[in-house]
Chain A
Amino acid sequence: MSVLQHLPLGRFIKAAGRGSRQTKHTVQVSFIVMLLMAAMAIFSANVNAEVPNAVPPEGEYSGIHVEQPIEFPHDIHADVNEINCMYCHTYARRSKVAGIPPTSKCMGCHSIIATDKPRIQKLTEYWENKESPKWKKVHDVPDFVHFTHEKHIKRFVIDNEDLQVENVSEVCAFCHGDVKKMTVAEKVKPLTMGFCQRCHQANDGPSDCWHCHK
């Protein structure tokens, strides 16, 4: 529970609820605000905020594009609307896996927001059929590797007093790349043993074989 106390969860909720309070009268105003935010995002894109007390791992990778059942736009959610990564990937700070949000979480906003878009209509169709979209895994490590999200989040976000939790995407970007600029997530980091090991050496991570190999 101590983990949760450190996290300003109100911020996530505020960010997510932004759209739901819209009424017809404020649509135009909010559209202008959205445009402004998009413009700000474009200008601030070049400024890559660095994560304090951490050395990002080096390495690039270009992999095969993974087709998803719905082309989920990460850029609209995380960049334009500034929704925190951990609002949807809520298990990242609590367990080994970051977690794909349940469809009910999508519908929490999208029963009201952007219901006229084809992607949302497809999502609503899934929701009404009581099915979940069969999302495909993009970032995967081999079965003999023990990787836990929660300890990495603890090291770089929760125990890192100089980092604002709003900037958590900079930490996620260590291994997942700049997801804010992607629609569907792409694998842009190699996630090989050398990649992990370089980061562990730079950030004083454990180097014992059995920490990660099982």
Chain B
Amino acid sequence: MSLSNLIDDWSRYRKGREEGGFHDYEHMWGMSIDLNKCIGCNACSVACYAENNLAVVGKEKFEKGQGMHWLRIERYWDEPDLGEERTSEFQQHGASFLPMMCQQCNAATCEPVCPVAATYHTPDGLNAQVYNRCIGSRYCSNNCPYRLRYFNFWSYYENSWPAPLQMQLNPDISVRDKGVMEKCTFCVQRIRTVKDSASMENRKVRDGEVQTACSQTCPTGAIEFGDMLGMYDPETGVAETKVTKMWRKYQVELGKTKQNKQTPELRGYRVFEFLNTDPCVMYLDRVREV
């Protein structure tokens, strides 16, 4: 089953790419993150902890790199060193921030290496991780160029949510135990709920109906989340979604390893796209003086 799953996923992806439309996909969830708007406040990360039952591992384990933050804010400093003549305590330009979560790659590097097919591609264009199937080989994590997969080295549920904090756990997502790989799911439990209620009302999922915890929480609205299929199937009359509009505006296209950068207005790019992972998350470059 696992082998046929992989072959099906891959051929579906190739077909979608060559024919210029992901016909077999029900949805294709994507994101656009405007780094101009990101202020590095970490609210998205906190929201992710609350929504997805992420374990708080503590200082010591965090220093060893065992933190379970599915969404992390990466900091980049323009001037790596303050030099000997410190005119200020801080670097002049400050840090640039980049929220980093699973990029839900269409040609994901983690998928083909899983020995038990615990990670596979769904018809929603998501990179799924089935926790009770995972045997903890950690191949996927080693093969991920973004380092976005987090491994449960310990059982955290005993210490991470001391009573009565276990009451705040989200019942729509399981609490992972030791030996299981986990990662950002684009809040699949929210997608599932919305899809269920849409099908109960015999309609399609509306644009903006699904919100991930991070995009809902972002105080500056830097993170946009939505379905991208309208972009690839304009003839069916599917209205353009917000995310599709953003991707079109900045002329970022799926399936390319390098985006059009002819004018400075075209700020869109995808992280490590030259590796041909074809991620579904688009970032917009930060613009500033100097």
Contact = CB atoms under 8 A, between A and B. Distances in A.
Contact of B131 (A144, A150, A151, A154): A144
A210 B188 contact: yes
Given A144-B174, A214-B189, A208 B196 contact: no
A209 B202 contact: no
B200 A3 contact: yes
Contacts, number: 46
Contact of B126 (A144, A150, A151, A210): A210
A143 interface: yes
A213 B196 CA distance: 15
B133 interface: yes
Contacts of A143: 171, 174-175
Main secondary structure, interface of B, reads: loop
A208 B174 contact: no
B115 to A, nearest CB: 16
B122 interface: yes
Interface residues of B, number: 23
Contacts of A2: 201-202
A154 B197 CA distance: 11
Contacts of B128: 209-210
Contacts of B220: none
B174 A210 contact: no
Interface string B265-285: 000000000000000000000
Interface of B: 120, 122-124, 126, 128, 130-133, 171-175, 188-189, 192, 196, 199-202
Given A144-B131, A213-B131, 12 more contacts: A143-B174, A143-B175, A154-B199, A154-B200, A209-B122, A209-B130, A210-B126, A213-B130, A214-B174, A214-B188, A214-B189, A214-B192
30 contacts: A3-B200, A142-B132, A143-B171, A143-B174, A143-B175, A144-B132, A144-B174, A146-B172, A148-B196, A150-B196, A150-B200, A151-B196, A151-B200, A154-B200, A209-B122, A209-B130, A210-B124, A210-B126, A210-B128, A210-B130, A210-B188, A210-B192, A211-B192, A213-B130, A213-B131, A213-B132, A213-B133, A214-B173, A214-B174, A214-B192
